[in-house]
Amino acid sequence: MQLPIPTNVHSDESHKVEDIKKVVRRIKFESELDHNFGEHIAEKAYGQKLLGCIQCGTCSATCPLSHYMDYTPRKVIAMTREGFKEEVLNSLTIWLCASCYSCTVECPRQIHITEIMYALKREAIQHGYYPKRLTIPVLAREFYKRVLKDGRNTESWVLVSLYLHTNPFAMIKEAILGIKLFLRGRLTIGKERIKRRDQLHAILGNTKGGSQI
Amino acid sequence: MKYLYYPGCSLRSTGRAYDESLLAVSKKLEIQLEEINDWNCCGATSYVSIDEIDAFSLAARNLALAELQSSDEEVNLIAPCSACYLALLKTERFLEEVPDVSAKINSSLYKAGLHYNGRVNVRHPIDVLVNDYGLENISKRIETPLKGLKIACYYGCQSLRPYATFDDQYHPMTMEKIVEAIGAEPIDWSLKTRCCGGSLTGTIQEAGLRLNRFLLKEAQKSGAEIIITCCPLCQHNLECYQERISRFYDEEINIPVLYFTQLMGIALGLSEKEVSMHRLFKKPSLKRFSQKGAAAHAW
Ligand code: SF4
Ligand code: SF4
């Protein structure tokens, strides 16, 4: 269950003796960047202050998940601003963000980092970047579909489809927890539905995000 | 006192004990909660990760329905789940602050024959209990003071971040004040607003378990006998994964995790059944306080 320490994400790797022989470029040239990307994200709701980041690193220090991320929140902000679009949209960081808002309330420049992470998630989905079998976006997708259909989220069904799409074996382990919850009346098996699903269908899916998943 | 009530999906499944105990406590305190008819999911963190307009429109339908159901000038809507609370509150603010997007949201609502005028005030139950009902009035109603019971209050993330509407977002104290009002003893600890990882326990489990381990260990170390919380996801994480965390890290972790409303209910003289203690994995031993609770249930 312990996640392996990644071997290829840190540039420090290049210090290894055997690597020194074959020198590879690790960072893009400025001409290869998408220069509009930073402004594009800054235009999103609550994204305006992105360009004012002073790279202090407070966000990374306060983030409870930064040690699992491929780029810390500070780096994501810097890379977004500079136009490393592909790297940012391909990163695990944006999906690991648990929306805890710790960074947002600590940032000395009042940058809405959490909202920027959300904007990057949406951008990744709209441009087909997100890792198709990574559990986190799959959970978001299954949740999205369930609510689109019924108006409510029946947790048990969302979880079942999550495991079916990612790791069916994990379901067996989770089944015991499921049974315990069921015995305490904490797991709804029948699907919850709202009555006015017509209203829901009129409201949702009018924009492009949902159609990409 | 009358409020509209938005339970949300979690309070009808894994968080049922929160729903039931909040309703029981409200009834006991004569606070009327009226559920929004045909409410829908708030969208939580998933919708806004996929489509912004959908996310806010989804939440806005609930606000529009709330307005339909009340003629009050200011419609007070209670949302107990932290994720729902924030999703609804964010929508309320968003519609005021981001005009071009809110035009799109309004046109989505219009397609469904709905309209939102901005009359809703999204409230957290802690806020209502402390600021509307009042701590003194709670104290007056206490039948079984929980003297000497040491409690760690855990607020989690989204009840106070990014919007601190009813308490200080770095060092909140409202739940502690409730604990004092019911005669128990809040312990001082530093992780009360640290993240539990949300749905990570179901997706990237190691990361999720680790965050919960810190919280549980710190609460235990600080001398707490019970952790209370105000969020169904926090409660689920802290309670249901304890065994796994104990095994994984080979550490003794064993502490009941209750909703603050369950503890309040016991102090207000409700039975353990009435506050849904039977839905917990680990029941606290409160027999030394409550004759009624001890007699009524053979666990
Ligand atoms: S805390 Fe704010 S200013 Fe500092 S690095 Fe992070 S985003 Fe930039
Ligand atoms: S909101 Fe996301 S990026 Fe910010 S501290 Fe929390 S997990 Fe980290």
Find the mean pLDDT for residues A9-24.
60
Q: Which atom of ligand 1 is nearest to the CA of A73?
A: 6
Ligand 2 centroid distance, CA of A62 (Å)? 8
Q: Do A156 and B13 lie within an 8 Å CB cutoff?
A: yes
Nearest to B15 by CA among B295, B259, B296: B259
Condensed to tens digits (0 to 9), the pLDDT of residues A131-143 reads: 766 777 777 777 7
Which residue of B lies nearest to A187 if distances are taken between CA atoms?
Answer: B13
For residue A82, how far is its CA from the centre of ligand 1 (angstroms)? 15
CATH fold of the domain at B143-279: Rossmann fold (3.40.50)
Domains of chain A and any CATH numbers? 27-130 (1.10.1060), 131-202 (no CATH)
Domain ranges of chain B: 36-123, 143-279
Here the ipTM equals 0.90
Cis peptide leading into residue B145 (ω within 30°) = no
What are the Cα distances from residue A153, in Å, to A118, A191, B84? 20, 8, 12
- Spacing, Cα B113 to ligand 2 middle (Å): 37
- For the entire predicted model, the pTM comes to 0.89
pLDDT means per 10 residues, chain B with 299 residues, are: 92 93 98 96 80 88 95 95 94 88 88 92 97 97 95 96 94 97 96 92 87 96 97 94 93 96 97 96 84 45
**What is the 3-class SS of chain B, one letter each residue?**
CEEEECCCCHHHCCCHHHHHHHHHHHHHCCCEEEECCCCCCCCHHHHHHHCHHHHHHHHHHHHHHHHHHCCCCCEEEECCCHHHHHHHHHHHHHHHHCHHHHHHHHHHHHHCCCCCCCCEEEECHHHHHHHHHHHHHHHHCCCCCCCCCEEEEECCCCCCCCCCCCCCCCCCCHHHHHHHHCCCEECCCCCCCCCCCCCHHHHCHHHHHHHHHHHHHHHHHCCCCEEEECCHHHHHHHHHCHHHHHHHHCCCCCCCEEEHHHHHHHHCCCCCCCCCHHHCCCCCCCCCCCHHHHHHCCC
Rounded (10°) CA dihedral B119, B124, B128, B131: -100
CB-based contacts of A179, cutoff 8 Å, min separation 6: none
Residue contact B48–A118, C-beta within 8 A:
yes
What is the distance in angstroms between the Cα of B219 and the nearest Cα belonging to chain A?
A: 17
CA proximity to B205, closest of B217, B194, B216, B213: B213
A113 within ligand 1 shell (Cβ under 6 A): yes
Q: Give the closest of A135, A188, A209 to B51, CB-based.
A: A209
Nearest beta carbon to residue B9 from set A125, A152, A213: A152
Burial class (CB in 10 A: 0-12, 13-18, 19+), B289: buried
Chain B residue nearest residue A150, CA to CA: B40
Sign of CA dihedral B16, B261, B184, B296: negative
Look at residue A207 and tell me whether its pLDDT is greater than 70: no
Q: In whole angstroms, what is the distance from residue A77 CA to residue A73 CA?
A: 6
Which of A102, A159, A209 is opposite residue B54, by nearest beta carbon?
Answer: A209
Span B153-187, pLDDT tens digits: 999 999 999 999 999 999 999 999 999 999 999 99
